Chain A
Amino acid sequence: MHTALRCPMCGTMNPVTNVQCDQCQARLIPMVAPGYAEPEQVPISESYPPLTSPEEQIEQPVESVTAEIEPTDREAGDWLAQLRAAAEEEEIQETETMGEPIEPVELPTWLRSMGPLGVEARPTPAQEQPFAEAPAEGEEAERFQEPALAEELPDWLRKFAPPAAPPAPTPPTVEAVPEEALPTLPPPAPAEEIPDWLREIAPPPAAPPTPTPPTAEAAPEEALPTLPPPVPAEEIPDWLREIAPPPAAPPTPTPPTAEAAPEEALPAVLPLVAAEIPDWLRGIAPPPAAAPEAAPPTAEALAGRPPSAAPEVPEWLHEFAPAEEEAPGEAPPETAPPVPLAVQALAEVEAPQIPGWLAELRAETARPPAPTVPTFEETGEAEGLARAEIPDWLKVMRPRPEAAGTTIKGEEPVETEGPLEGLGGVLTPTSAIQAPAIHETLRTPELSQVSLSRAQLLQSLLAQPAEALQPEAPRRGIGTGERLQRWLVAIVLLIAVGSTLLAPGGGIPTLTTPAQSPVADGRMDFQRLTRAYDLVQGMHAESTVLVAFEYGPPEADELNLVAEPILRHLLAQGAHISISSTRPEGQAIAARLLRDISASEEQYTSLGYRPGDAAGVSQFLSTAGTRPALILILTAQPGPLRWWIEQTRALYGDALPVVAGVSAALEPAASPYLDASAKQLVGAVSGLSGAAAYETLRNPAQQANPRLNALAAGHVAIVGLIILGAVFYVLGSPRGKGK
């Protein structure tokens, strides 16, 4: 076996598996275009034919090629028909454009050193003649077949030399071949003419003679099936197997249904083979006999060919081959597609002897053009594997190429992308509305008695009918008695107050006593009134009195009566009055009151409204330009009274006296500030009775205030009504009747 490849550039020996030289990185294996890979990868013929010129290759009989194709064709199934048809069309086109035979070119020096007998294979004028027209002489043929240089060969080459010419390659049918066909072989060059360097590497000359191909006319078709069997691939040197061009011409596009290929087409096909062979390899081309001229496989030949070539098909081809059980023992149909020659040739080479680079090319070449995916059953049975049981759930997920892009069941779409491409019915389409947004893990409910009781309680509550809305209670009409009560109260009050006011001197007695009465001297309210009076009495013309009008129109009728005597007193003392209020209507009340008492605008100043309640009071007191001599608070509400008292005490302490004129209802609220220990209020005038007392203090001659009499009459009337009502309801009606 040849175990190394010589680098054509530097001569370094490299392992056969190398594609490039380890020394100079030159490519050891010629680059082959993918498009022309098929004819070039066809292995060397089994018979190690002698090198012949392209012209000789043209004369290769079609029948011999057909005989070699037949086994493979029969093994090939229908799936190769498309490949053959496609290759046929391509090659026809190329043949038409490259129909002219290519002249052989001289081999480069480096190739001569590699190619065995390259020089000798150069055609001679005699060899250029067709075999049939220029039969070789018998002596030359014998001399060519003699191993004249056998003793000169080195030992290492002898083992690569093909067996002796007569035995193996000589087919039994050669006898039938006329002797005239043999002289067509080129005579071997004399040993003297061979340089020494070439003798060392030249293979034995006895190798080529055997497969002398008969001419098309000389070789009868009956002898074709009996052609010598191919030489085992083991006998071919590795170096030759790698560099030798494929002996088989590219498959001639022949229709499989043709009974016999028209021989006229061969000359047009064979030049194509020669044209596809690189020039550098043309000289060392394999014998034309091995070139599998694509001939139409006749039905007879296909039928008579035993299926002996089946084991030669490599395993990787089994994947693309149809199952045997699909065509058991039957003659291949006439419409069987031709087997690609590349595939056929590769099938004849043992897989372990193919280097890696060739295996890649083979894989690329043998790649099925059509995207037909063999089924699992076909592939498995072709390789002799036992068919395994596929679970049903897995069968459902089995890809179904025929349904790609469509629906399998009409409702189950096939996935067209992603890892599930080609699978159908895997993902059940579900409406997005039905899909919950959040998937929660269901937990096994662990119900306790407490939970059950609560659930039952909730259920019972929910089962209860909703309470009807409470109808609005019908408005109870006002009864006659109640109407009479209302009219009675109104009439009594109107008569009591109105009569006193309208006819003060009309025979109605005075109900009140003067404020200076001895009885009133010891009362608390009179003492507070007296202190307020004394304080106002101490004001003078340069004094400024700050008066806070903290009441509105609803309280104006009462507080105006309280404020009027005090303001008159202040104006009488000549004090200047500054008016302020924390209520918006306070300024208007003050202006009206001062206008009523005929005060001139020079005697009082309106300081405006002070918002902010206590803060407004504080801000007003702190920003006042001049400190007042007295602060008079006129209010009917406890809030303003507290604000003014607290803020005045906070800012001025005891230095600024404060007096208040409040309503009768507010007197209890002002009493704490009027306490002698507190002294937050120096004095106060409370209500209409206090105002009357104040007037009495200023003018002792003035007697009872007529309004005080009206107030007293009203109080007496209300007390009478209360007593009347109490007697009526206690004595006149049963208990709880009015509820």
Chain B
Amino acid sequence: MSKLVKRWIPGLLFATLPGLVVLFGYLFPSPLLVYWRDALVEWAVIVAAFAFLLGLFNILRVHGERIGHRRKGWLYSLVLLLAMILAWIPPILPANVPGQDMLDRAVFDYVISPVGAALAALVVFTLALAAFRLLRVRRSAGAMFFLLIVVVALLGSTPLTGLERLADIRDWIVSVPGMAGMRGLLLGVALGTVVTALRVLVLSDRPHSES
């Protein structure tokens, strides 16, 4: 009895039934099923919105404890919390406050965007250094072939004058081997998603439960 209450009833009510309703809502888009499908999806969106609140509270707790106990890196945590609090100020200000829009835009344009772009630029630098030192770590045919593909893709991605053939080679690499690999990857992801969905529908998996 307890197993029925703890395992099967919640699974049937909160996993199988909604999943089947949404699935049949897509397969057989009758007005009733579409209504319930859209309703259930909307409920899921609302529930997912609260995940941000949970994440927010988790950040406050983790970094707050670090600051309170003076653990290693507590200064960075302090900067993080201060930046987060400052980022809250513009959105919560009333719209008729002078400079409210400008302040919000300035935070994004002069803080967030440059920092993000700088991090992306570091990736280019890191990848270039790794490619430079690749043969120092591993001297193999695979490493050599990898470097050859990298050189062809880089030179072929830009319409360099005089190197148009490299662009064709790069296009072939992306369209044939690259797309085959990605298609296989996408199909694998799709099959995994279907299998996972079926396991949830038959209550073989209960990601909504700890047991």
Contact = CB atoms under 8 A, between A and B. Distances in A.
Interface stretch (A83-91, A258-266, A614-622): A614-622
B129 interface: yes
B155 A716 contact: yes
B109 interface: yes
A523 B150 CA distance: 19
Contacts of A672: 179, 182-183, 186
Given A519-B164, A615-B48, A715 B158 contact: yes
6 contacts: A556-B113, A615-B48, A622-B41, A672-B183, A715-B157, A729-B135
A719 B163 CA distance: 14
Contacts of B141: none
A721 B134 CA distance: 11
Given A554-B116, A730-B139, A715 B164 contact: no
Contacts of A725: 131-136
Residue among B104, B116, B158, B182 with most chain A CB within 10 A: B158
Given A485-B133, A493-B128, A687-B157, A554 B41 contact: no
Contact of B159 (A520, A616, A623, A735): A520
Contacts, number: 187
Given A554-B119, A672-B183, A722 B151 contact: yes
A504 B23 CA distance: 56
Given A588-B104, A672-B179, A708-B159, 10 more contacts: A511-B158, A512-B158, A517-B159, A554-B119, A612-B41, A692-B159, A716-B160, A718-B124, A729-B133, A730-B139
B117 interface: yes
B65 interface: no
B147 interface: yes
A612 B45 contact: yes
A726 B183 CA distance: 32
Contact of A619 (B45, B104, B175): B45
A671 B135 contact: no
A730 B104 CA distance: 53
Interface stretch (B8-16, B74-82, B166-174, B201-209): B166-174
A729 B136 contact: yes
Contacts of A555: 116, 120
A102 interface: no
Contact of A712 (B105, B158, B182): B158
A552 interface: yes
B125 interface: yes
B124 A493 contact: yes
A711 B158 contact: yes
A525 B135 CA distance: 32
Contacts of B150: 719, 722
B174 A721 contact: no
Contact of B135 (A584, A611, A716, A730): A730
B26 interface: yes
Interface residues of A, number: 73
Interface in A381-438: none
B44 interface: yes
Interface string A712-739: 1011101101111110011001011111
A637 to B, nearest CB: 13
A719 B149 CA distance: 11
A615 B41 contact: yes
B112 interface: yes
A675 interface: yes
B119 to A, nearest CB: 5
Given A489-B128, A611-B52, A708-B158, A723 B186 contact: no
Contacts of B132: 485, 489, 721-722, 724-725
B161 interface: yes
Given A512-B161, A689-B159, A722-B132, A715 B154 contact: yes
Interface string B108-130: 11001111110110001101110
A623 B35 CA distance: 11
Contacts of A735: 139
Nearest to B122: A554
A669 interface: yes
A739 B135 contact: no
Contacts of A485: 129, 132-133
A514 B161 CA distance: 9
B193 to A, nearest CB: 10
B128 A525 contact: no
Interface in A658-714: 664, 667-669, 671-672, 675, 687, 689, 692, 708, 711-712, 714
Contact of A615 (B44, B112, B168): B44
Contacts of B183: 672
Contacts of A726: 134-135, 144, 147
A592 interface: yes
B87 to A, nearest CB: 11
B192 interface: no
Nearest 5 interchain pairs by C-beta: A553-B116, A725-B132, A554-B116, A612-B48, A668-B178
A226 interface: no
A486 interface: yes
Interface string A542-568: 000000000011111110000000000
Interface string B30-71: 000010011001101100110110000000000000000000
Given A553-B115, A729-B139, A719 B154 contact: yes
Contacts of A558: 120
A495 interface: no
B135 A513 contact: no
A513 B133 CA distance: 32
B85 interface: no
B137 interface: yes
A623 B38 contact: yes
Contact of A553 (B117, B127, B186): B117
A524 interface: yes
Contacts of A349: none
B183 to A, nearest CB: 4
A557 B41 CA distance: 34
Nearest to B187: A672
A525 B29 CA distance: 36
Contacts of B127: 718
A714 B124 CA distance: 10
A158 interface: no
B31 to A, nearest CB: 13
Contact of B158 (A591, A689, A721): A689
Interface in A445-479: none
Interface string A620-648: 00110000000000000000001000000
A711 B160 CA distance: 10
Contact of B157 (A490, A520, A642, A664): A664
A305 interface: no
Contacts of B34: 622
A513 B128 contact: no
Contact of B164 (A520, A591, A618, A724): A520
A511 B114 CA distance: 28
A616 B48 contact: yes
Given A515-B159, A724-B132, A730-B135, A523 B167 contact: yes
A103 interface: no
A142 to B, nearest CB: 110
A523 B168 CA distance: 7
Contact of A486 (B49, B129, B147, B171): B129
Contacts of A650: 26
B171 A611 contact: no
